[in-house]
Chains A and B, each alone.
Chain A
Amino acid sequence: MHHVPLSWYLILSAILFALGIAGFIYRKNIITVFMSIELMLNAVNLSFVAFAYQLRQVDGQIYAFFVMVVAAAEAAVGLAIILTVFKNRKTLQIDEIDSMKL
């Protein structure tokens, strides 16, 4: 029986997480930035599930459920906030939202 080794999952998860960080820092569109955060959460989910499989526990899989639910709640709130920002400013470029700089 062939297994995909744990390290592959973890490396993939780390790559996804790093991509999320890069997207968060370099992207200018708010929606893309927000999607980068979701990508980071999903990378973590992958780690949880991989670890759960390795440890022969169900816990890690349930944690992934928790993360998904929380991410959905966060997405609802986040998109609502982005919507109000767009309504007031007619832009989604993150560097144009700076009314409070010195």
Chain B
Amino acid sequence: MPTTYAETYFPLLIQILIALAVAGGMIGASAFVGRKIKDRVKNSPYESGMEPVGNARERYSVKFYLVAMVFILFDIEAIFLYPWAVVYRELRLFGFFEMLLFIALVLCGFFYIWKKGVLDWSTEAHGEREQENKRVA
């Protein structure tokens, strides 16, 4: 049994060192082995395909928000799977069916947002354009 402060956290120190070594090694290896190209595009900061220079306070499409929110909601539902998995063996069949029910309920929510068109990125935009045309006409 570890007794002192240092002994308790020694494994943590080792883990940090290994992580540093792996990360440092990878960066070092690529700097050492890799070819170096220096042009305009390569030197610009990587911004996931967005324009790197411009007004940072530009507003995003509200669809980003919707998808992000739906993602968070479904993501957080999964939190209940962890404690369930811990006691799964003790709960046996009962626990299995309870979780099945839980997931079925979550799926109902999924069905709803699917049918409401939250997930159709392009067709919904298309539908909006059609409505716009109707309003103009």
Q: A-side interface residues toward B, CB under 8 Å?
A: 1-2, 58, 62, 65, 68-69, 72-73, 75-76, 79-80, 83
Q: With a CB–CB cut-off of 8 A, which chain B residues contact A72?
A: 72-73, 76
**Min C-beta distance of B99 to chain A, whole Å:** 15
Secondary structure call for the B interface = helix
Beta-carbon contacts under 8 Å, B30-82 to A: 62, 65, 69, 72-73, 76-77, 79-80, 82
By DSSP majority rule, is chain A's interface helix, strand, loop, or mixed? helix
Number of interface residues of B (CB under 8 A): 16
Q: State how many angstroms separate the Cβ of B105 from the closest Cβ of chain A.
A: 13
- CB of A65 within 8 A of CB of B79, answer yes
Name B residues whose Cβ lies closer than 8 Å to a Cβ of A.
2-5, 8, 62, 65, 69, 72-73, 76-77, 79-80, 82-83
Closest to B9 in A: A2
- Whether A83 touches B65, Cβ cut-off 8 Å, given contacts A1-B3, A73-B73, A76-B72, is yes
Tell me if A69 and B5 are in contact (CB < 8 A). Answer: no
Option from B2, B65, B76 in Cβ contact (under 8 Å) with A68: B76
**B83 closest partner in A (C-beta):** A62
Q: Is the CB of B72 within 8 A of A69?
A: no
User: Which residue on B lies nearest to A69, using beta carbons?
Assistant: B76
Contact B69 A80 (CB under 8 A): yes
Which residues of the other chain, A, contact B2 by a CB distance below 8 angstroms?
Answer: 1
